[in-house]
Amino acid sequence: MQETDQAVRMNEEYHRTILDRVSDKVIDFLIFFISIFRKNWKEKNRSRVAEWRLMFYALNRSPPGVIGLSLVTIFILLGIFGPVIAPYRYNYFPLFEESKTYLSPPGEYFLLGADHFGRDLVSLLLQGARTSLVISIMVILLGVPFGILLGLIAGYFGGKIDEIIMRVTDMFLAFPPLILAIAFAAVLPDRISTLINQNEILKQILLWLFALDRTEAGNLSRLLAVMIAMAIVWWPGYARITRGSTLTERESLYVESAKAIGLPSTRIMFRHILPNIIGPILVYITLDFGMVVLTEAGLSFLGLGATPPIADWGRIVYDGSQFFPNAWWLIIFPGLIVLLDVLGWNLLGDSLRDILDPKLRRSIEFKVKKKKEKV
Amino acid sequence: MISETYLNQSSIPLLDSVTEKRGEKLTELKRFLARRMLTFIPTILGVTLIVFAIAYLIPADPARAWAGGEKASQKAIEIIKEKYHMNDPWYVQYTFLITGLIKNEIIDPRTSNPVMDDVGKRFPVTFQLALFAYFFVLLIGIPLGLISALKRDSALDTFVRVFALFGVSTPVFWLGYILIYIFFVNFRIINLAGVPPSPDTVITHVPVIDALLTGNFELFQQHVARFWLPGFVLGFMGAGVVARFVRNSFLEAISGDYIDFLKAKGVPKLRIYRHAMKNSLVPITTVLGLQFGFLLSGAPITETIFGLPGIGLYAIYSITALDFPAIVAVTFVFALVYVIANLIVDIMYAIIDPRVRY
């Protein structure tokens, strides 16, 4: 076991770039982490780990992929640590102490200027990174598994169940996505607010997730409403993709043999079909992550979702647009941040599509090995 | 089907077989259209269901807000509740809402007009905006895609790639404000206030087309001056996507065997491209049709930036005023337009591609 793993590495010892070494370290750490919880995992999944290494080698050799991955990593780290490293809290209003901070331009009081409450734009952007990250992750976590589940059921069982599920999906796909999100985000908050007020644990979790103070508890319902509204918009696409690939997988031999030995349907669906179709879905998720960030910024630009003093990239632009063109920094910087974030996800998704294609990955492997012969 | 016509061809004269094929094709097309129309009905029913769900989720007491907030008299609230069937079971509410929307009987509490009238007044602006955006999508997307396919792997090809990438990644509001800064604040060559009047004679209800048809060129110019920048901003995202798509499908078409055959035959280059173009047109039509729906979807943000009084902006104002009949009506209208656009794409698809078997 150990030897072959070593052998894989020995083969590529000569032409691993710095990035490859970093990615190998990451994978080593991941293996270490998993083997704490599961004994023998490393031995059982040797080929899988080798595959992971190769995927990273392929990613490291495509510049867009590297740029995308680093942008995404930066934004995730900013989302996690942003509120902690921000110089000021989002609800600290310097305007009350120093009236000149009102819309002060970049460099005068703060690095990137201040908004109409005199708040530091850098701190707002860092806090906004958390808001954006939490909302997009929650939308993906709520919407995608639901869509995949329905798509699997529809594709696997077929017949009437398929018909019903796909008709419901079509209903949701009949709306322009942003319009449906706007409608639900507008209508939901009042319904949800009672739920949040009654449920202390949910309230605490949300406050912790968004890194907000207790005083903002009243505005949580609007954030939650945006999440739910976007999840409602997002699941039908996944139901459709999953159903399509499940339909083709259902006919393949391994499903038939699994059926023949009498495995239960749920096991076939989740343990056998799902791992085989998850590749393209992962690419969609990555590309969609950017779309979710963009849509969320758009919604909050329209005044849905976060309300001041909660910081949100789209909301900063919305508030700043009242003072346009004088306070240009309130529009340029948040917009640029959104652009970079979305760009990162799109770049990563594009190169993931290439990498998850087994043929292309083999060609990379070939390249790596050929170089060794030369050496 | 194919083998049958083949057999016929040997026995009957060629002309007969062709006309017969064409006739068959037409009846087949008709059958397809009928079937497509039939699936259209459940979709619309589904749309009404979701619209109702939105209306049903409306917070418990909009009546109080409409009657004047905290100090509203109990009687006024009761009247409003009764008028909008707020205390009735859900199926009564559903029929009230749907028949009300179709017969245009729901009164908007904010403007006291039937809500569909309000939407109808604002719809031409949104539609015109979408048309301008569509114009830019076609104008930029198709030539750029074709050029980048012909000059494959050149600097221009890379540029198109980057352009498409930035197209899908750029927030509309950011691009909008930057362009406003350039064209309005710096050069002062665009106008951002109000909307030019519609021409007196109404033909298509879209002001810019009406102005052109009635020969009112001054008004036409005013409309173009007001709408070109919002149209460009809205179409920016789609242009990149379409360019990429045109490039890929053209490359796919040009790698077909029949192209090699044409080359071997010595057909001039331009004619070869015409053949390839015709074949790549089918997937392009689909993506162009879908783009129209996306453009409508982007309308609220663009209208907010440029202050265009379309239904997107109307919906945004309705949200802040808790005016829920308006939200429901706008959602309904958007869905209708979207579904109809998809229907047209499907029919176009069937007409353009003679190989499609329904």
Q: Where are the beta strands (DSSP E) in B250-301?
A: none
Helical pair B155-169 and A274-301, crossing angle rounded to 10 deg: 70
Q: Locate the domains of chain A by residue range.
A: 79-356
Tens digits of residue pLDDT in B274-329: 888 888 887 788 788 778 878 888 889 999 888 888 888 888 888 877 777 888 88
Whats the size of chain B, residue-wise? 358
Confidence at B19, pLDDT banded by 50, 70, 90: low
Contact B174 A171 (CB under 8 A): no
The per-residue pLDDT for A136 is: 93
Contact A179 B300 (CB under 8 A): yes
| Cβ-based contacts of B133 with chain A (< 8 Å) | none
Q: How far apart are CA B235 and CA B295, in angstroms?
A: 7
**Could you give the angle at the alpha carbon of B75 between the alpha carbons of B71 and B79, nearest 5°?**
115
Confidence at A374, pLDDT banded by 50, 70, 90: very low
Q: What is the largest CA-CA distance in chain B?
A: 88
Mean pLDDT of A225-249: 90
Confidence at B74, pLDDT banded by 50, 70, 90: confident
Q: Kindly state whether A195 is in contact with chain B, defined as any CB-CB distance less than 8 angstroms.
A: no
* Shortest CA gap A13–chain B (Å): 33
Round the average pLDDT of chain B to a whole number and report it: 80
Tens digits of residue pLDDT in B126-175: 988 998 999 999 998 888 888 888 888 888 888 888 888 888 889 988 99
Q: Kindly state whether B294 is in contact with chain A, defined as any CB-CB distance less than 8 angstroms.
A: yes
Question: For residue A199, how many C-alpha atoms fall within 13 Å in the half-sphere facing its CB?
Answer: 13
For residue A334, the chain B residue with the least C-alpha distance is B174
Region class of A115: left (phi > 0), else alpha (psi between -120 and 50), else beta: beta
Q: Kindly state whether A323 is in contact with chain B, defined as any CB-CB distance less than 8 angstroms.
A: no
Looking at this predicted complex, what is its ipTM? 0.82
* pLDDT exceeds cutoff 90 at A137: yes
One-letter-per-residue 3-state SS of B73-86:
CHHHHHHHHHHCCC
Q: Is A238 in contact with A284 (CB distance < 8 Å)? A: yes
Interface of B with A in 126-165 (CB under 8 A): 165
Round the average pLDDT of chain A to a whole number and report it: 84
For residue B292, the chain A residue with the least C-alpha distance is A176
Confidence at B28, pLDDT banded by 50, 70, 90: confident
* pLDDT exceeds cutoff 60 at A370: no
* Shortest CA gap B228–chain A (Å): 20
* pLDDT exceeds cutoff 60 at B189: yes
State percent of chain A over pLDDT 70. 91
Q: Hey, what CATH class is A79-356 in? A: mainly alpha
More confident of the two residues A337 and A18: A337
Region class of B310: left (phi > 0), else alpha (psi between -120 and 50), else beta: beta
Note the pTM of the prediction, 2 decimals.
0.85
Tens digits of residue pLDDT in B193-247: 777 777 777 777 777 777 777 777 888 888 888 888 999 999 988 888 888 888 8
Q: Kindly state whether A167 is in contact with chain B, defined as any CB-CB distance less than 8 angstroms.
A: yes
Q: Kindly state whether A304 is in contact with chain B, defined as any CB-CB distance less than 8 angstroms.
A: yes
Q: How far apart are CA A14 and CA A17, in angstroms?
A: 9
The per-residue pLDDT for B55 is: 77
The per-residue pLDDT for A337 is: 93
| Cβ-based contacts of B43 with chain A (< 8 Å) | 170-171, 174
Q: How far apart are CA A81 and CA A127, in angstroms?
A: 9
* pLDDT exceeds cutoff 70 at A7: no
State percent of chain B over pLDDT 70. 88
DSSP secondary structure, A197-211, as one string: HH-HHHHHHHHHHHT
| Cβ-based contacts of B334 with chain A (< 8 Å) | 175-176, 179
Mean pLDDT of A140-164: 91
The per-residue pLDDT for B22 is: 60
